[in-house]
Amino acid sequence: MSPRLILPLWVILSACGQNVEKDQEQLDRAAPSMVLTGRVVDDADLLTEETEKELTGILADLEQTSGPQFVIATTKSLNGLEITDYSLKLARAWGIGNKHRDDGVLLLVAPNEREVRIEVGYGLEASLSDPFCAEVIREAMLPAFSAGRMEEGILNGAARLIKKMQRVPSLPANDNAPEIPAQNRKIS
C-alpha cells in the first residue's frame, strides 16, 4: 500500500475508533442508575403513595394471571440518552419479564425531558405492537400530560396496556396457573 493511502486511512480509522469510544463512554456514563424496588419505581415523584400501592397490586395480579411482567418507572433524567436507549438499557438491567418468553413491559416516563416510552419484549410484540403502543401514548397519556396531570396519564396508559395483556396473555398455557390433572384434560 502506498504511503499516501496509509496516512488518510489511519486518520479515518482513528476517528472511527474515537467515535466508538465516545459512544461507549456516553452509554457507560448514562447508564440508568435507577434501582428496581418493585413493580412501580417512581423516581420522579409523579405518583401518590396510594396510587403506587394500587398499581403494584394490579401489576402483581396481571403477572400471576396473564404472565407478563409489567413495570412502571418514572425518572428525573435520561442522563443524556435517547429514551429508546435508556428504556432498553433499564429493561435489560432490571431483567423485566420471563427470560424464555421475553414478555416484559416497561412504561417509562421522563417528565423533565417530556418523553414517554413503552418498551415491549419480543414475546409480546404481536399483541403490544409499536403502532398500538404509540396509540396508547398519543390517545391515553399525552392529553393528560399536556394538562399537567401526570398521574392520570400514567394510569390511563397502564390501564390500556393491562386490558390488552389480559385479553392476549403471553403464555401459551399460563404456567402461573395450577397444573390441570391429566384426567380433566380429556375432551369427551
pLDDT digits (tens, 9 = 90+) for 130-186: 999 999 999 999 999 999 999 999 999 999 999 999 887 655 444 444 344 444 444
pLDDT-derived band at 23 (thresholds 50, 70, 90) equals low
Side-chain-side CA neighbours of 32 within 13 Å: the count stands at: 25
| The pLDDT of residue 167 | 86
| The pLDDT of residue 66 | 87
Backbone angles phi, psi at 143, to 5 degrees: -60, -45
Q: State the maximum Cα–Cα separation within the chain, in Å, rounded to a whole number.
A: 83
Residue of 101 and 186 predicted with greater confidence: 101
**H-helix or E-strand spanning residue 177:** none
Residue of 6 and 60 predicted with greater confidence: 60
CA 10, CA 185: separation in Å to the nearest integer? 68
| The pLDDT of residue 21 | 56
Q: What domains are there in the chain, each with its CATH number?
A: 40-167 (3.10.310.50)
Q: Which three cell numbers stand for residue 36?
A: 428496581
Backbone angles phi, psi at 144, to 5 degrees: -70, -40
Pick from 44-58, 87-101, 157-171: least confident: 157-171
Q: What is the pTM of this model?
A: 0.76
